[in-house]
Amino acid sequence: DSGVTQTPKHLITATGQRVTLRCSPRSGDLSVYWYQQSLDQGLQFLIQYYNGEERAKGNILERFSAQQFPDLHSELNLSSLELGDSALYFCASSVAMGQPQHFGDGTRLSIL
Amino acid sequence: AQSVAQPEDQVNVAEGNPLTVKCTYSVSGNPYLFWYVQYPNRGLQFLLKYITGDNLVKGSYGFEAEFNKSQTSFHLKKPSALVSDSALYFCAVRDGGGTYKYIFGTGTRLKVLA
């Protein structure tokens, strides 16, 4: 058990909809990362937060947004969903930037 | 541009034989290098990292990796493979030039044959 909790585990929705994925980092970890894993694009880094502040941005679409709250949990919001957004979304956390990341088991998002 | 390459989609090795999973990278500054393993329907698990220091890094489950600056490589190795090592392995790099972005390789599926 990595100590990182992601909810929900599975999410099925339709095109055009909006969803929110939630992540609780491992106790004591200040940094949170979001990734998208799909068969055709591999594991893509989306965004990183450290103690509530955005610190790095990867290949995150404008339709996607994230934030880290004062209690350090994080949410990834995906809007105007398209079929191509179907993927496994991982959250990871680390005690500090540059340190090893601990991954949750992911949220599988299916767009119908 | 930053990049990480894992040139082999799959590596097959017999149980008890040594294994190598290859990784090369291109990044600005001094890189932070990582190896992770992913089992089916699970998140990635950290194996080892290189930030600075000794070029040979030892990690979890008997794995080690060698940092080679001149060849910009960070190959994962294990002296004696186990069937339970069969999984998907990812090499990752964090840009040392200040962007803090992480890039993962496309993954290498390791199959250890009994």
Residue % of chain B over a pLDDT of 70: 96
At residue B85, φ and ψ (nearest 5 deg) are: -80, -10
CA distance A35 to chain B (A): 10
Nearest to A105 among B43, B51, B101 (CB): B43
pLDDT (0 to 100) of residue B102: 86
Residue with tokens 């880094």: A45
DSSP A56: E
Residue of chain B with shortest Cα separation from A57: B101
**Residue A41 pLDDT exceeds 90:** no
Q: Is B106 close to A42, i.e. CB distance below 8 A?
A: yes
Under 8 Å CB pairs connecting chains A and B tally to 54
Residue B98 reports pLDDT greater than 70: no
Inter-chain residue contact A105 with B94, CB threshold 8 Å: no
Mean pLDDT of chain A, nearest integer: 94
B42 and chain A in contact, CB less than 8 A: yes
CA atoms within 13 A on the CB side of B43: 25
> Tell me, what's the pLDDT at B73?
96
How far, in Å, CA of A92 to CA of A76, rounded? Answer: 12
Say if B90 is an interface residue toward chain A (CB within 8 Å).
yes
Whether the predicted pLDDT of B99 surpasses 80: no
Contact A48 B94 (CB under 8 A): no
Q: What is the pLDDT of residues A68-98, one digit of tens each?
A: 999 999 999 999 999 999 999 999 999 987 8
Average pLDDT over residues B83-96: 92
* Interacting residues of B94 by C-beta distance below 8 A, sequence separation 6+: A98, B31, B32, B34, B100, B101, B102, B103
Contact check, Cβ <8 Å, A103/B45: yes
| Average pLDDT of span B6-13 | 96
Q: Is the pLDDT of residue A112 over 70?
A: yes
Q: Is the pLDDT of residue B48 over 70?
A: yes
Q: Tell me which residue in A4, A45, A103 faces B102 most closely, judged by beta carbons.
A: A45
